[in-house]
Structure 1
């Protein structure tokens, strides 16, 4: 669905800068009420079909967001074939059911082999998903393409296998310490416990570094080996940029946890002071349920600002440092503080409305991110037109869903 050209875009189209570089702010023409209608139909049909409407819902959602995202006043298009998305989804369901049957019938060896094979194929699934996603994306008739070879994908995936080696070493170390801990006295036992905690601490730090490196490798590979027509992507960020964002995110997480702990402590102290002295069985059960709900609520409240902060900082870093060959680049002015406040407001409204504010929240966050980006083009936009990429199958897309990847990003 196309919207009318805005006055700002009209002014940009008719005004060339002195350097021959023209800015084109990205726009999002969708709205919360409009997307709510798409969302509620998807939700109801997914429930009625016991989840089997999922691939159709995903395509409708992708087409809505793509069709309302205007780049240089032209919408994106999502052109994936529905039958391929359905086939990929059904195959994923079959694989999941097969694993559950192996696990629940006591065939632990086969279940472990199943998991090991899945882990080994995870880079393939990721690359297949990226190839499917970009191959299904068009802009002004130009289809995007992800051209990385499987060797490049597995080379970029080395942090996955490094993390596995780290935890194999942890298990081996703890097994070596266990006999000594059982046979030793209390003093030596405490010493071995400290050693075990140090081993776990080092393993967690190394694992975090591997996770950061994997995210960096995959984003770098995705951009540098992506093509718009015949024009390759350009990537400038370095690994240190990602580390700094993650460290800042941990700081935000720690601050949020401290603030929540202070508020929770005050609330608990007040509850204890005014609680009745006599408690019956029902009161205890209600207290336990309330405690569990409070823990879940605490996890959401404490982690949401940190997750929103990391998302905003990473979005800004990437879109400020990528381009298309030497003829186009992007700039982003997204502010992390504004995005965090928007996420918190959306979280509160979603909880108060029992989830029905979710489509409005999604539109508002997508709009803020999209409209913070400006495309700067050297010369004419026709330089981006080139050879179209061949579309891939939908298996990778469905498998990517199982590990939390989002189709429209």
Structure 2
């Protein structure tokens, strides 16, 4: 039986949005659609391909929006549905087993042998095949970052100029614009994250912190002996600042309209960020401190009414500590031998050459520090996020030391050579790396999570953390 009905098709001709890198778009598309490399290359070969057909323009536009977030140039066109079979259609094969799409004949749009699914908002219009399962009843859901360095560079330049012109007042708006850009370009299951904080609240917190700091500085000019007291007060306030910062950050973050929350108590923060760190004089306790802080940061975080849970053990952190200690000893020994040998070589050289040798030694020491920092970051991310669960779902991370070290080194070199102008691109590259190496293993339906009622929290703690540069590492 034949009927002539109109439907709407997503058409792709291999083009990417302005300012986007083709290879990066391919990588995001492959991760998002779970496509094999051969199929991805075929889709980006420049041929006119109908990616998927929809019964309504609204559904097609939703599907196009998903792929546009990845950087692809998509068009929605009306096409005639030539044949409708009364018998049930054959289920669409999985993307991995499909053949590469063939070129469309001139004057006619021909869909590929297999149309990759899109994941629209409406569950009724969901793809006919779920992502590749990892176990019975489970499926993978990768994070996707669709921002670009060129886009963020424009935002960053405007933020810097306005912050300077307004003597820092615009910094609150700059923070919100930056956070909304990165949150809005980070998605999970086709749904972007939201940053809901208002600039005025952040500005009030910053002004109050600045006023307290300025008042203390003025008094310290008259009575220098109180400077140590100020340091002690800041140390005692650190647990409160950390807790308020986490509450503010979680409360104004949302996904699918449901807010996050942080329920950690001040006493727990005091023990994790003040009492236990006092034991750092005994290096053996460092893994215990990492373990306690990790569980405070994650186990007290919630998404709606669902609580996160980290499954790492003290033993996991002792292993990380041992690896870092061995690498530190190796780098330290190699550096010491190198410095000693270099010292012997330059004793009889001119002072200018000795100064250059000293500079080379500083560069090598900085490189060693970058290597140690990269290894620490990789181990901590994989322990904190890679062992975190929320309800029946769990997060999986795949940070690798080699690839992350390359990212850090190239970002650092780019920032140095460009006198800081490469910073926006470095920040985007880091966000993309995080998304590409993080995914969720979904068990059941994420819609089961229900938002819990959360009271508003003050921005003061968050801004105090920014002002005093207190890094909570999460």
Q: Distance between the aligned counterparts of 2:454 and 2:232, measured in 1? A: 32
- 1:121 is aligned, of 228, 234, 237, to 237
Give the direction of change, closer, same or farther, for the CA distance of 1:145–1:126 in structure 2 (3 Å limit).
same
Structure 1 residue 20: deviation in Å? 1.7
1:302 alignment counterpart: 368
1:315-338 CA distances to partner (integer Å, 9 max, x unpaired)?
11222210112x211111221121
| 1:55-70 equivalence runs, <5 A | 55-70=172-187
Q: Does structure 2 retain, via aligned residues, the 8 Å contact 1:88–1:399?
A: yes
Q: Distance between the aligned counterparts of 1:133 and 1:113, measured in 2? A: 29
| 1:260-275 equivalence runs, <5 A | 260=335, 275=350
SS in 1 for 2:136: coil
Q: Does residue 89 in structure 1 map to residue 206 in structure 2?
A: yes
Q: Does structure 2 retain, via aligned residues, the 8 Å contact 1:144–1:228?
A: yes
Q: Distance between the aligned counterparts of 2:341 and 2:174, measured in 1? A: 44
Give the direction of change, closer, same or farther, for the CA distance of 1:93–1:299 in structure 2 (3 Å limit).
farther
Q: Does residue 383 in structure 1 map to residue 448 in structure 2?
A: yes
SS in 2 for 1:310: helix
Structure 1 residue 67: deviation in Å? 0.8
Q: Does structure 2 retain, via aligned residues, the 8 Å contact 1:3–1:29?
A: no
Structure 1 residue 45: deviation in Å? 2.6
2:4 alignment counterpart: none
Q: Distance between the aligned counterparts of 1:3 and 1:408, measured in 2? A: 31
1:183 alignment counterpart: none
Q: For structure 1, which segment, 226-235 or 36-45, has the greater mean C-alpha deviation from structure 2 after superposition?
A: 36-45
1:14 alignment counterpart: 129
Could you tell me the TM-score, scaled by structure 1's length? 0.77
| 1:317-332 equivalence runs, <5 A | 317-325=383-391, 327-332=392-397
- For the pair shown, the structure with the greater C-alpha radius of gyration is 2
SS in 2 for 1:26: strand
Q: Does structure 2 retain, via aligned residues, the 8 Å contact 1:102–1:108?
A: no
Q: Which has the higher contact order (CA 8 A, sep 6+)?
A: 1
Structure 1 residue 301: deviation in Å? 2.0
2:217 alignment counterpart: 100
| 1:10-409 equivalence runs, <5 A | 10=119, 14-15=129-130, 17=133, 19-109=136-226, 111-157=227-273, 159-160=275-276, 162-163=278-279, 205-206=281-282, 208-209=283-284, 212-260=287-335, 275=350, 297-325=363-391, 327-405=392-470
RMSD (Å) for aligned C-alpha atoms = 3.1
- Unmatched segments (≥5 aa) in structure 2: 1-64, 71-115, 120-125
Q: Does structure 1 retain, via aligned residues, the 8 Å contact 2:238–2:273?
A: no
Structure 1 residue 405: deviation in Å? 4.8
Q: Distance between the aligned counterparts of 2:127 and 2:413, measured in 1? A: 38
Give the direction of change, closer, same or farther, for the CA distance of 1:263–1:61 in structure 2 (3 Å limit).
farther
Q: Distance between the aligned counterparts of 2:297 and 2:449, measured in 1? A: 18
Q: For structure 1, which segment, 13-22 or 329-338, has the greater mean C-alpha deviation from structure 2 after superposition?
A: 13-22
- Unmatched segments (≥5 aa) in structure 1: 164-203
1:92-129 CA distances to partner (integer Å, 9 max, x unpaired)?
212222232233222424x4433333222211110000
Give the direction of change, closer, same or farther, for the CA distance of 1:123–1:139 in structure 2 (3 Å limit).
same
Structure 1 residue 406: deviation in Å? 6.2
SS in 2 for 1:308: helix
Structure 1 residue 161: deviation in Å? 6.8
SS in 1 for 2:389: strand
Q: Distance between the aligned counterparts of 1:351 and 1:112, measured in 2? A: 35
Q: For structure 1, which segment, 312-321 or 239-248, has the greater mean C-alpha deviation from structure 2 after superposition?
A: 239-248
Give the direction of change, closer, same or farther, for the CA distance of 1:209–1:52 in structure 2 (3 Å limit).
farther
1:272-297 CA distances to partner (integer Å, 9 max, x unpaired)?
6663xxx7xxx6xx976x68865654
Give the direction of change, closer, same or farther, for the CA distance of 1:21–1:140 in structure 2 (3 Å limit).
same
Aligned length: 356
Give the direction of change, closer, same or farther, for the CA distance of 1:87–1:262 in structure 2 (3 Å limit).
same
Higher helix share: 1
